[in-house]
Chains A and B, each alone.
Chain A
C-alpha cells in the first residue's frame, strides 16, 4: 500500500489501478500458496470437529475463507502455524454453522487409519480408534487442547492459541490425560 501511495505522484490512474490489481493478485497468490503448503493444519482441525465428509468440506471452506479475510491483518507477530491454528479453531468452535440433516456421522473404524497393514500397525490403529473415540467424548475446548498437545505444541503456543496461562494449560492437560486414561485403560489392557 505504501508503495502505491508513493508512486501515485508519477503514475497515471489507469496504471495505478493495474499496479494495485497486480498487488492484490500477488497477495492472493502468496496466500493460496501458504495455505496449500500448510493445509495439514486445516485438515487436522476439520477431522477433529466435523464428523462426516460433507461437514469436513464445509468446515475446510469456512476456515480457508476466514484465513483469507484475516490475512491482511496478519503481521507475522506470531508463527504462521500458531495464527492458522487460532483462526481454524476459532472458526471450528465458535463459527455459526447450520446443523445439517444430510450425512450421518461415520463410526470410526481401523480402516480409517491409513497405516501399512501388519500386525503391529493393526494393533496401533485399533488403539487409535479408541483414542479418537475417547477424544470425541471430550468437550470442544478440551479437544482443541489435546489436539495441540498431541501435535507437539509447546505449552506457550497452546496458551497463546487458547488465551489461557501456561500453568493452566498444564493443569488442564493433566486432567484431560487422566480422563482419557480412565476411558482407555480397559481397552488397552
Chain B
C-alpha cells in the first residue's frame, strides 16, 4: 500500500464531491446576508438578548429608586454598580467569543490565542457569576433587613440574633451553591471545547 498511489484517486473523489455539492453565487450571497444559524451566531444573539434584559432590569430598578418621597441613594448606587458591572461583563464576554472570528493566523497561532482567550473568558465568567450573583443577592437581602428596620423606626442592631444567623446561613448556602453551579455550568458550556483546543495545541507543540 502506497499513499502516493492514492493521491490521484483522492483528488478525483474530492473534486467530484465539490461538483456535487457546488453552491451558486446567490447561495453565498444569502449566507452573507441571512442571520447566521451557526452556534456562534446563536450565542451572539443570546448575548444581545441578555444585554437587553439586563439593561431593562437595571433601568427599571434605577427608575424605581426615584420615588415620591425622595431619592433612595443606596438603591441608586446599587443599580449604577449593577449596570456598570453588567456592561463590563457582557463587553468582555462578547469580545472573547468573537475574537476568534477574526483570526486568520496559522492553526498554531490561532490555537495559542484561543486557548488563552478562552481561559480568561472562563475565569471572568466564573468569578463574575460565582461571586457576583451571591454578593448581589446577599446585598439585596441585607438592604431588605435595613429598610424594614428603618420603616419601623428601629436601629439595625435591634434585628434579632436568630435573624442574623439565618441571614448568614442563607448567605453561605447561596455562596456555596453558586460556586458549585457556576463551575459545573462553565465546564459543561465551554470546558469540553477548551479541553479540545488545548489538546490540539499540545499536539502541535509536541512536534516542535
Given contacts A86-B107, A96-B39, contact A151 B32 (CB under 8 A): no
Report if A104 contacts B (CB, 8 A).
no
Interface string of B107-147 (1 = CB under 8 A from A): 11111001000000000000000000000000000000000
Seen from chain B, the residues whose Cβ lies within 8 Å of a Cβ on chain A are 1, 3, 6-7, 9-18, 20-25, 28-29, 31-32, 36-43, 97, 100-111, 114, 193, 197, 199-200, 203-204, 207-208
| A127 to B111 CA separation, bound complex (whole angstroms) | 34
The residue from A33, A87, A164 contacting B108, defined by CB atoms under 8 A apart: A164
Interface contact B15-A150, CB-CB below 8 Å: no
Instruction: Give the residue name and chain of the A residue nearest to B32 (CB).
Output: A68
What 8 pairs across the A-B complex have the smallest Cβ distances? A163-B108, A163-B106, A40-B18, A98-B39, A114-B16, A188-B1, A70-B104, A43-B18
Question: Taking A39-B23, A168-B208, A172-B207 as contacts, is the C-beta distance between A97 and B100 under 8 angstroms?
Answer: no
- Chain A positions within 8 Å of B, measured between CB atoms, are 28, 32-33, 35-36, 39-40, 43-44, 46-47, 56, 58, 60-62, 64-66, 68-70, 73-74, 83, 86-87, 89-90, 93-98, 113-115, 124, 127-128, 131, 139-142, 144, 149-152, 160-165, 168, 171-172, 177, 180-181, 184-185, 188-189
Choose from B7, B200, B207 the contact partner of A140 (Cβ within 8 Å).
Answer: B200
**How many A-B residue pairs lie within 8 Å, measured between CB atoms?**
168
Question: Known contacts A70-B102, A70-B104; is A163 also within 8 Å of B14 by CB?
Answer: no
Q: Is the pair A150, B3 in contact by a Cβ cutoff of 8 Å? A: yes
Inter-chain contacts of A128 with B (CB < 8 A):
6, 9-10, 13
Q: Assess A131 versus B18: contact at CB under 8 Å? Given A95-B40, A141-B200, A188-B1.
A: no
CB-CB nearest in chain A for B114:
A94
Q: How far is the CB of A13 from chain B (nearest CB, A)?
A: 26
Contacts of A162 in B (CB 8 A): 106-108, 204
- Asked if residues B21 and A94 are in contact (CB atoms below 8 Å), the reply is no
Q: Is the CB of B36 within 8 A of A65?
A: yes
User: Judging by beta carbons under 8 Å apart, are B106 and A184 in contact?
Assistant: no
Q: How far is the CA of A184 from the CA of B28 in the complex (A)?
A: 38
- Complex Cα distance, B141 from A173, in Å, reads 62
Does B107 contact A163, Cβ atoms closer than 8 Å?
yes
Structural contact, A152 and B106, CB atoms closer than 8 A: no
B9 touching A96 by the CB < 8 A rule? no
Considering the chains assembled together, what is the distance between the CA atoms of A97 and B38 in angstroms? 7
A180 to B7, CA, bound (A): 14
Whose C-beta in chain A lies nearest to the C-beta of B3?
A177
Task: Enumerate chain B residues within 8 angstroms of A184, measured Cβ to Cβ.
Answer: 1
> Given A60-B21, A152-B11, list of 8 further CB < 8 A pairs?
A90-B103, A94-B114, A97-B38, A128-B9, A139-B199, A149-B3, A150-B6, A163-B106
Using known A-B contacts A33-B25, A161-B106, determine if residue A39 contacts B18 with beta carbons closer than 8 Å.
Answer: yes
- Rounded to whole angstroms, the CA-CA distance of A46 and B21 in the bound complex is 11
- In-complex Cβ contact of A141 among B9, B106, B204 (8 A): B204
* Chain B residues whose C-beta falls within 8 Å of the C-beta of A177 in the assembled complex: 3
Q: Which residues of A contact B22 (CB under 8 A)?
A: 39, 43
Residues of B within 8 A of A58 (CB): 37-38
Contacts of B21 in A (CB 8 A): 43, 46, 56, 60
Give CA–CA (A127, B9) in the complex, Å.
Answer: 10
CA distance A74 to B153 in the complex (A): 69
Bound complex: CA A43 to CA B18 (Å)? 6
Closest-CB distance, B82 to chain A (whole angstroms): 28
